[in-house]
Structure 1
Amino acid sequence: MTTRAKLTVYSALATALASLCMLPLLTTRSWLTHAVLVVGVVSAVGVGMRRSPLYRWSVPVAQLLVLLLLMLIGFAGSGMTAGVLPGADALRVLGRVFSSGVDDIGQYAIPAPPTAGLRLILVSAVGLIAVLVDTIAVTYRRAALAGLPLLALFSIGNGLAGEHGSWVWFCLAAAGYLALLFAEGQDRVSRWGRVFRGGARGTVTSSQVSLGGQQVGVLALALALLLPVFLPRWDLGLLDSGSGGSSGGGPGGSVATSLDPLVSLESAITKPSNNELLSYTLDSDLAEQTYLRTGSLDQFDGTNWKLSSTVVTALPATLPAPEGLHDPNVPHIEGDFRVSDQLEKSWLPMPYPAASVKVPERDDWKLDPMTRTVVPANDKPIRGLHYQVSALDLRPTADELRAAPPAPQDVREHYTALPSDLPSVVADQARAVTANARTDYDRATALVNWFTGPQFKYDTSVEGGTGSNAIAVFLRDRRGFCVHFASTMAAMARVLKIPARVAVGFTPGDTKDGRNYSVTGRMYHAWPELYFSGYGWMRFEPTPSRGVPARYTEASSAPTTAPTQQPTVAATSAAAAPAPSSSSDCTAKQRQLGDCGPKGKAVSQAAEESWLLSGQVLGTLGVVLALIALLLIPMFWRTAVRRRRLGGGGRRRPGGDGPTELTDAQVLAAWDELVDSAWDLGIPPDESRTPRSAARRITETAHLDAEAAAAAGRLALATERVLYAPAGQVTTAPLAADVRTARRALQADAGRRGRIRALLLPPSSAQLWWRISDAVRAARTAVATRTGRAVEAVTGPVRRVFTRRKRSGPGA
Structure 2
Amino acid sequence: MALSLVLALVIPLGEKHPWTQGGPDGPIQLTDPTVHLEEDLRRPKDTRVLTYVSDDGEPHYLRTVALSDFSDDGLRLVPMQLNRFGLDRASSQPGREVTLDVTMGPIRSEYLPAAFTPRRIDAAGEWLFDPATLTLVASGADRTAQTINLDYSVTSVVPTADRDEIATAAAGAVDDPVYLTVPSLSPEVTALTNEVVAGATTAGGKALAIQDFLRSDEFTYTLTAPTVAANSVLDAFLLEDRSGYCIHFAAAMVAMARMEGIGARMAIGFTGGTQLEDGSFEVSSHDAHAWPELYFDSLGWIPFEPTPAVDGAGMPDPTATPTTTGGPSASPTGSETTTAPPTTASPTPTPGTGGQGGGSARIALTILAVLLGIAVLGCVPAVVRVAVRLRRLRPGQSAEAAIDGAWTEAGALFADYALAWPSVSPGRAAAAAVTQLPPQGAAAFAALGSTLERSRFARDGDAGTQVTAQVTALRHAIDRAATPAQRLRARFLPRSLWPGRR
- TM-score between both structures, scaled by the size of structure 1: 0.38
Structure 2 counterpart of 1:440: 203
Q: CA deviation at 1:388?
A: 0.1
Secondary structure of the 2:233 match is helix
Structure 2 counterpart of 1:537: 301
Q: CA deviation at 1:366?
A: 1.3
Structure 2 counterpart of 1:319: 88
Q: CA deviation at 1:402?
A: 2.8
The 5 A counterparts of 1:6-85 are 27=6
Mapped partners of 2:287, 2:401: distance in 1: 14
Secondary structure of the 1:281 match is strand
Structure 2 counterpart of 1:276: 48
Letter in 1 for 2:273: G
Mapped partners of 1:595, 1:543: distance in 2: 24
Structure 2 counterpart of 1:295: 65
Residue 228 (structure 2) pairs with residue 465 (structure 1): yes
Letter in 2 for 1:312: L
Secondary structure of the 1:596 match is helix
Mapped partners of 2:64, 2:162: distance in 1: 25
Residue 251 (structure 2) pairs with residue 487 (structure 1): yes
Secondary structure of the 2:49 match is strand
Structure 2 counterpart of 1:106: 11
Mapped partners of 1:512, 1:264: distance in 2: 27
Mapped partners of 1:601, 1:468: distance in 2: 30
Secondary structure of the 1:597 match is helix
Secondary structure of the 2:207 match is helix
Secondary structure of the 1:263 match is coil
Per-residue CA deviations over 1:180-206 (Å, capped at 9, x if unaligned) read xxxxxxxxxxxxxxxxxxxxxxxxxxx
Mapped partners of 2:199, 2:124: distance in 1: 51
Mapped partners of 2:201, 2:136: distance in 1: 37
Per-residue CA deviations over 1:121-146 (Å, capped at 9, x if unaligned) read xxxxxxxxxxxxxxxxxxxxxxxxxx
Mapped partners of 1:534, 1:494: distance in 2: 18
Structure 2 counterpart of 1:123: none
Mapped partners of 2:220, 2:400: distance in 1: 12
Secondary structure of the 2:261 match is coil
RMSD: 3.4
Residue 173 (structure 2) pairs with residue 408 (structure 1): yes
Structure 2 counterpart of 1:372: 134
Contact 1:354/1:389 (<8 A) preserved:
yes
Letter in 1 for 2:178: H
Secondary structure of the 2:226 match is coil
Mapped partners of 1:418, 1:512: distance in 2: 42
Contact 1:482/1:527 (<8 A) preserved:
yes
Structure 2 counterpart of 1:455: 218
Structure 1: runs of 5 or more not aligned:
1-24, 29-100, 109-246, 559-577, 606-812
Secondary structure of the 1:522 match is helix
Letter in 2 for 1:597: I
Residue 38 (structure 2) pairs with residue 266 (structure 1): yes
Structure 1 counterpart of 2:75: 305
Mapped partners of 1:273, 1:446: distance in 2: 36
Secondary structure of the 2:454 match is coil
Structure 1 counterpart of 2:454: 603
Contact 1:365/1:374 (<8 A) preserved:
yes
Structure 2 counterpart of 1:339: 104
Secondary structure of the 1:465 match is coil
Q: Aligned to 1:356, which of 120, 125, 142?
A: 120
Q: Which has the higher contact order (CA 8 A, sep 6+)?
A: 2
Q: CA deviation at 1:261?
A: 2.0
Q: 1:591 to 1:431 in 2, by over 3 A?
A: farther
Mapped partners of 1:580, 1:512: distance in 2: 29
Mapped partners of 1:315, 1:544: distance in 2: 39
Structure 1 counterpart of 2:242: 478
Contact 1:255/1:310 (<8 A) preserved:
no
Contact 1:355/1:391 (<8 A) preserved:
yes
Q: Aligned to 2:160, which of 389, 395, 407?
A: 395
Secondary structure of the 1:319 match is helix
Letter in 1 for 2:293: E
Secondary structure of the 2:249 match is helix
Structure 2 counterpart of 1:429: 192
Mapped partners of 1:594, 1:346: distance in 2: 37
Secondary structure of the 1:400 match is helix
Q: 1:273 to 1:538 in 2, by over 3 A?
A: farther
Per-residue CA deviations over 1:143-193 (Å, capped at 9, x if unaligned) read xxxxxxxxxxxxxxxxxxxxxxxxxxxxxxxxxxxxxxxxxxxxxxxxxxx
Mapped partners of 2:41, 2:110: distance in 1: 13
Q: Aligned to 2:260, which of 496, 511, 514?
A: 496
Q: 1:460 to 1:315 in 2, by over 3 A?
A: farther
Q: 1:506 to 1:296 in 2, by over 3 A?
A: same
Q: Which has the larger radius of gyration?
A: 1
Q: 1:400 to 1:275 in 2, by over 3 A?
A: same
Secondary structure of the 1:383 match is coil
Letter in 1 for 2:454: V
Q: 1:348 to 1:502 in 2, by over 3 A?
A: same
Secondary structure of the 2:119 match is strand
Structure 2: runs of 5 or more not aligned:
324-387, 406-450, 459-502
Mapped partners of 2:97, 2:282: distance in 1: 21
Aligned pair count reads 334
The 5 A counterparts of 1:190-229 are none
Letter in 2 for 1:314: R
Q: CA deviation at 1:447?
A: 1.1
Contact 2:166/2:318 (<8 A) preserved:
no
Per-residue CA deviations over 1:471-512 (Å, capped at 9, x if unaligned) read 112112101111011011101110111111000100111113
Per-residue CA deviations over 1:695-716 (Å, capped at 9, x if unaligned) read xxxxxxxxxxxxxxxxxxxxxx
Residue 317 (structure 2) pairs with residue 552 (structure 1): yes
Q: 1:504 to 1:441 in 2, by over 3 A?
A: same
Letter in 2 for 1:319: D
The 5 A counterparts of 1:81-230 are 104-107=9-12
Secondary structure of the 2:35 match is helix
Residue 155 (structure 2) pairs with residue 385 (structure 1): no
Q: CA deviation at 1:321?
A: 4.1
Mapped partners of 2:264, 2:402: distance in 1: 34
Letter in 1 for 2:69: Q
Q: CA deviation at 1:441?
A: 1.4
If each structure's strand is expressed as a fraction of its own residues, which one has the higher value? 2
Secondary structure of the 1:426 match is helix
Q: 1:536 to 1:603 in 2, by over 3 A?
A: farther
If each structure's helix is expressed as a fraction of its own residues, which one has the higher value? 1
Q: 1:535 to 1:333 in 2, by over 3 A?
A: same
Q: 1:546 to 1:592 in 2, by over 3 A?
A: farther
Mapped partners of 1:507, 1:592: distance in 2: 21
Q: CA deviation at 1:258?
A: 2.9
Letter in 1 for 2:98: I
Q: Aligned to 1:516, which of 280, 295, 298?
A: 280
Letter in 2 for 1:374: L
Q: 1:490 to 1:597 in 2, by over 3 A?
A: same
Letter in 1 for 2:286: R
Letter in 1 for 2:152: Y
Mapped partners of 2:74, 2:399: distance in 1: 29
Mapped partners of 1:466, 1:488: distance in 2: 8
Contact 2:196/2:209 (<8 A) preserved:
yes
Q: CA deviation at 1:107?
A: 4.6
Q: 1:306 to 1:344 in 2, by over 3 A?
A: same
Q: CA deviation at 1:26?
A: 9.0
Contact 1:314/1:365 (<8 A) preserved:
yes
Secondary structure of the 1:314 match is coil
